[in-house]
Amino acid sequence: MAWKTLDDMDLAGKVVLTRVDINVPVADGKVTDATRIERIKPTIDDILEKGGKPVLLAHFGRPKGQVVPEMSLGLIKDAVSDVLGVPVKFASDCIGGPAKEGVAELGEGEVLLLENTRFHEGETKNDGQFAASLAALGDVYVNDAFSAAHRAHGSTEGVAKLLPSCAGRLMQAELSALEAALSTPERPVVAVVGGAKVSTKLDLLGNLVRKVDYLVIGGGMANTFLAAEGVDVGKSLCEHDLADTAREIIKKADEAGCEIVLPVDVVIAREFKANAENEVVPVTECPADAMIFDAGPKSVERISEIIAGAKTLIMNGPLGVFELEPFGKGTFAMIEKIAEQTKAGALVSVAGGGDTVASINASGHGADFTYISTAGGAFLEWMEGKELPGVVALG
């Protein structure tokens, strides 16, 4: 890895500016899911153990450079303290007097949470003066927010260039997992890409066909590829106007030696609702008045065979409408196979993206993948082969 980690830094007696993602859901003044706070705990524990004083930089919502009271990080200070298990103080601004006073008064074994960085326009504009004001507060900068690393913001890129910098434990785990999956993978490599639309994942598909041995396409995206190959997909979700694009991706895959795997049989129904009357048909026999909701058993069997022979797998999207019974069978059977191979030590499996994480959790296999990323946009941009400003700045 080209970036430093906490193991490379002397933190004793130093103020450690730590960029974290604690943009958690809140309802009625209570944090409803503390997962993001829990994931920063190893980094904060390490900083404290090394004698450093953690000062947390974070955003909360999208206040667009304005002070919005309901987007104040003060609302979640107690939740952060409860999860970290240490006293957490709060400063009413992330720069200037309140921040400086908070840092000056920070005691050993305590954490300081600074107010929402996005209350300042300089954050999203990556203003040099704003970044310098942040940097003036600390001695060392740690980025533990991979999920915000695709943003060139003051607290993710600007400040990293002004202080000795390194990756936190969560950032380190994320980057290590992604390096293992795409940069230096054991082969064969399989990518599973699902979701509604090809148009949202063009860069991703274009990058993956050059990097993987098998590209399994599911969900509404598969319908677009099937239609491009002359298959009648009935009333299914399909971007018919992207037929030429789909054929171009198939051509690139052929040239790169990547096999694109599309359904050979499908589960169809005529109503978009749970437990709608359904049947399995060969992919070439979808009735004109029906919709494809899931991959069929023969398709899943083929995908499972490919997973059984793979060494590395990346998953970004389900095979069907897993949220509706019984149209999650294909996705859940595939996840079951991925989990089985991973637990047997035969497969490195990395997954990310909102629907992907939801489908894995719904299957009950949330703990059975090598790594599950909650980073959303940053995970997708990494898979697309794009440079992430927050990561580059640590180099």
Catalytic residue among 61, 74, 366, 377, which? 377
Rounded distance, CA 23 to CA 118, Å?
A: 12
Alpha helices in 96-213 (DSSP H): 96-104, 121-124, 128-135, 169-178, 202-208
Lookup: tokens for 290: 């029906």
Catalytic residue among 13, 257, 309, 354: 354
Strand 111-114 to strand 53-57: parallel, antiparallel, or no bridges (unpaired)?
parallel
> Could you tell me the two tokens for 283?
């992919």
Catalytic residue (choose from 197, 235, 311, 343): 197
Residue 54: closest CA among 18, 23, 9: 18
Reference 263, options 235, 324, 221; nearest CA is 221
Catalytic residue among 19, 36, 201, 211: 36
377 is catalytic: yes
Please confirm, yes or no, whether 251 is among the known catalytic residues. no
Rounded CA gap, 6 and 42, in Å? 11
Phi, psi of 169 (to 5 degrees): -65, -40
Nearest one of 96, 78, 92, 105 to 15, comparing CA atoms: 105
- 354 an active-site residue? yes
Strand partners, 269: 278, 291
Identify residue 132 by its one-letter amino acid code: A
CA 115 to chain centre: 25
| Cα-based angle 30, 174, 215 (whole degrees, multiple of 5) | 110
SS3 of residue 193 by DSSP? strand
Residue 300 and residue 308 in contact, taking contact as beta carbons nearer than 8 Å: no
How far is 302 from 281, CA to CA, in rounded Å?
16
Question: Strands 111-114 and 88-91, how do they pair?
Answer: parallel
Region for 351 from its dihedrals, namely left if φ exceeds 0, alpha if ψ lies in -120 to 50, beta otherwise? beta
187 catalytic residue (yes or no): no
Q: Concatenated DSSP letters for 303-364?
A: HHHHHHT-SEEEEES-SS-TTSTTTTHHHHHHHHHHHHHHHTTS-EEEEESHHHHHHHHHHT
Residues with a catalytic annotation lie at 36, 197, 354, 377
